[in-house]
A and B are shown apart, each in its own frame.
Chain A
Amino acid sequence: MNTDLLIVGGGPAGLNAAYKAASNGVKTTVIDKWFTLGGQLKQQTQFYNNLPHHFSKQRGFQLADHLVDRLKALDVWILENHTMIGAYQDGNVGVTDGSDTFPVNAEKIMITTGAMEEPEIFPGWTLPGVMTAGAAQILINRERVLPGERALILGSNDFALEVASQLHDCGIKVKGIVESGSELLCQNDELAVKMRDADIPVLLNSVIESATGKGEVEEVYVSTDGSKSLYDVDLICIAKGMTPILEPFEIMSCDFTYQAKLGGWLPRYDSTFKTTNPSVYIAGNAAGITSMGGILLTGEMAALSVLQALNATSSEKIEKEKQYLWDELYRIESTENRSVRDARLDVIKDLHYETGVQLPAYLDSVFGGLING
């Protein structure tokens, strides 16, 4: 099949990009390996208060529905249950539905595969009942199934506390947040207050020593400053951060770089969100773990770059929109995750330095001293 733009991954970044591209007349195809669109946004029941100005404040699953619904009126070809599994020698992308594989000929490809959760390894971590925090959240909010009755959360970042709070609200007794460091990683004070209100203890300087049980988790030893305590839990949720999903970029021979603040290894990209493969663009968490605002904005910016590359609309209009989007990205990442903002800029600057292509003027004005200094 032929398409102008192939988007790999139908989460918030891909869906927002698809809307931008298709509403400007670009023939757009979205593939997603899952049986529904929306990605990990589908099971986010919390409110997003810090979204770009052109989105209203809403809960995650409502935002997912909105992003999917507004594509219906547009000419977007959506293939759920379809996975990118390779590239042909002529540059076509190999897509499969599990039984048939076919080539997709696309002018441009945008890869918005998001991120995966990092595991944390301890004796017994493979027992049933040990799962990622994201898995537990899928169970309660998408499947409406309780993954256990008594839980420990391993890790204390924002997502760890968000999931702890959601599990608690669904009736699960959360017996503790286990953090190896000497302070809570969560930057959101509201969530920290929620833990106190819900009587969920935060166990600092603590690690899970072992999880045991007959066929599933029954007992867990937590070591705090060297002293061991036994927890009677049947669920351990691991929340140790996320890292970009890279396989499709590897298939497309993109170059990679390492930025701990962005989640580890990620594809190199420039200020247009183009990777080192000139046909391949990137957005969302794949371009560095960020907030929901950052995910939406990078999707839109990458789509504008595709429009520009395909001469689909006036360059002047695009540059003006990009200026607004960069301002928004700067605003949101400055309040939510400043280190992500700076690390992202490092990635972009690094590639521009190598190619000798000048950074656009609006980037200079947005980041000001950051770029010159």
Chain B
Amino acid sequence: MHIIDHPILEKDDRKVIQFYFNDEPLNAKAGQTIAAALMANGIKKLGVSRKLQQSRGLFCASGRCYSCFVTVDGLDHVLSCSTLVEDGMKVYSNLSDPEVRRGRE
């Protein structure tokens, strides 16, 4: 849920944009991270752990713990806490061990 009347900060006038999570269209605010936009839509589970397939979500929100991986526009292993959501972005849960990205050859 979004905070409409923040006790301290000014009114939030960020533009509403649309993105997709597991093909479902969702609203976000421009300037939000993917993890926050999902949380605003009540989605906390972002993927599963690689070995035991346990639920994983946002933990540190600072790009350090690597708990919040998602797949973004075909790219696996993207940190949803440190990546801004974009209009039309297609985000998928991280449900399996991703392909390791190689350097340019």
Give the interface of A toward B (CB within 8 A).
33-35, 40, 45, 59, 61, 116-117, 119, 126-132, 134-135, 138-147, 169-171, 215-216, 245
The yes or no answer to B50 lying at the interface (CB within 8 A) is: no
Question: Hey, which chain A residues are within 8 Å of B63, CB to CB?
Answer: 33-34
When the two chains form their complex, are residues B32 and A145 in contact, meaning their CB atoms are under 8 A apart?
Answer: yes
The yes or no answer to B45 lying at the interface (CB within 8 A) is: yes
Could you count the A-B residue pairs with CB atoms below 8 Å apart for me: how many are there?
105
Near A by CB (< 8 A), chain B positions 30-82 give 32-33, 36-37, 39-40, 44-46, 49, 54-65, 67, 81-82
The yes or no answer to B100 lying at the interface (CB within 8 A) is: no
Q: Which of A34, A45, A132 is within 8 Å of B82, CB to CB?
A: A34
Q: Nearest CB to that of A99 among chain B residues?
A: B104
- Given A126-B54, A143-B32: A116 in contact with B64 (beta carbons within 8 A): yes
When the two chains form their complex, are residues B2 and A144 in contact, meaning their CB atoms are under 8 A apart?
Answer: yes
Q: Nearest CB to that of B57 among chain A residues?
A: A128
**Cα(A126)–Cα(B55), bound, Å:** 8
**Cα(A215)–Cα(B81), bound, Å:** 19
Closest beta carbon of chain B to A332's beta carbon, Å: 24
Question: Hey, which chain B residues are within 8 Å of A126, CB to CB?
Answer: 49, 54-56, 59, 67
Q: Nearest CB to that of A45 among chain B residues?
A: B8
**Cα(A116)–Cα(B60), bound, Å:** 9
- Given A140-B3, A170-B7, A215-B45: A134 in contact with B60 (beta carbons within 8 A): yes
When the two chains form their complex, are residues B33 and A216 in contact, meaning their CB atoms are under 8 A apart?
Answer: no
Question: Hey, which chain B residues are within 8 Å of A40, CB to CB?
Answer: 62
* 5 pairs from A and B in contact (CB 8 Å cutoff): A126-B54, A126-B56, A131-B59, A146-B3, A170-B7
Question: Hey, which chain A residues are within 8 Å of B67, CB to CB?
Answer: 126
When the two chains form their complex, are residues A131 and B60 in contact, meaning their CB atoms are under 8 A apart?
Answer: yes
List 13 additional contacts besides A116-B62, A144-B2; criterion CB under 8 Å. Answer: A35-B84, A128-B55, A130-B59, A131-B61, A132-B59, A134-B61, A141-B8, A143-B33, A144-B3, A145-B36, A145-B37, A145-B39, A216-B57
Q: Is the interface of B mostly helix, strand, loop or mixed?
A: loop
When the two chains form their complex, are residues B62 and A135 in contact, meaning their CB atoms are under 8 A apart?
Answer: yes
When the two chains form their complex, are residues A134 and B62 in contact, meaning their CB atoms are under 8 A apart?
Answer: yes
When the two chains form their complex, are residues A135 and B61 in contact, meaning their CB atoms are under 8 A apart?
Answer: yes
Q: Which of A35, A45, A135, A145 is within 8 Å of B60, CB to CB?
A: A135
Q: Which of A129, A143, A245 is within 8 Å of B57, CB to CB?
A: A129
When the two chains form their complex, are residues B36 and A128 in contact, meaning their CB atoms are under 8 A apart?
Answer: no
When the two chains form their complex, are residues A128 and B62 in contact, meaning their CB atoms are under 8 A apart?
Answer: no
**Cα(A117)–Cα(B64), bound, Å:** 10
When the two chains form their complex, are residues A215 and B55 in contact, meaning their CB atoms are under 8 A apart?
Answer: yes
- Given A144-B3, A216-B45: A59 in contact with B59 (beta carbons within 8 A): no
Closest beta carbon of chain B to A189's beta carbon, Å: 21
Question: Hey, which chain B residues are within 8 Å of A61, CB to CB?
Answer: 9
When the two chains form their complex, are residues B9 and A138 in contact, meaning their CB atoms are under 8 A apart?
Answer: no
Question: Hey, which chain B residues are within 8 Å of A139, CB to CB?
Answer: 36, 39, 58, 61
Query: Lowest 4 CB-CB distances: which A-B pairs, in order?
Result: A128-B57, A143-B36, A135-B61, A128-B44
Q: Nearest CB to that of B8 among chain A residues?
A: A45
The yes or no answer to B15 lying at the interface (CB within 8 A) is: no
When the two chains form their complex, are residues B8 and A144 in contact, meaning their CB atoms are under 8 A apart?
Answer: no
Question: Hey, which chain B residues are within 8 Å of A129, CB to CB?
Answer: 44, 57
Most buried by A among B29, B54, B55, B56: B55
**Cα(A33)–Cα(B105), bound, Å:** 26
Question: Hey, which chain A residues are within 8 Å of B6, CB to CB?
Answer: 140-141, 144, 170
When the two chains form their complex, are residues B3 and A170 in contact, meaning their CB atoms are under 8 A apart?
Answer: yes
Question: Hey, which chain A residues are within 8 Å of B57, CB to CB?
Answer: 127-129, 131, 216
The yes or no answer to B1 lying at the interface (CB within 8 A) is: yes
When the two chains form their complex, are residues B9 and A45 in contact, meaning their CB atoms are under 8 A apart?
Answer: yes
Question: Hey, which chain B residues are within 8 Å of A130, CB to CB?
Answer: 59
Question: Hey, which chain B residues are within 8 Å of A215, CB to CB?
Answer: 44-45, 55
The yes or no answer to B97 lying at the interface (CB within 8 A) is: no
Closest beta carbon of chain A to B69's beta carbon, Å: 13
Question: Hey, which chain A residues are within 8 Å of B7, CB to CB?
Answer: 169-170
Question: Hey, which chain B residues are within 8 Å of A45, CB to CB?
Answer: 8-9
The yes or no answer to B87 lying at the interface (CB within 8 A) is: no
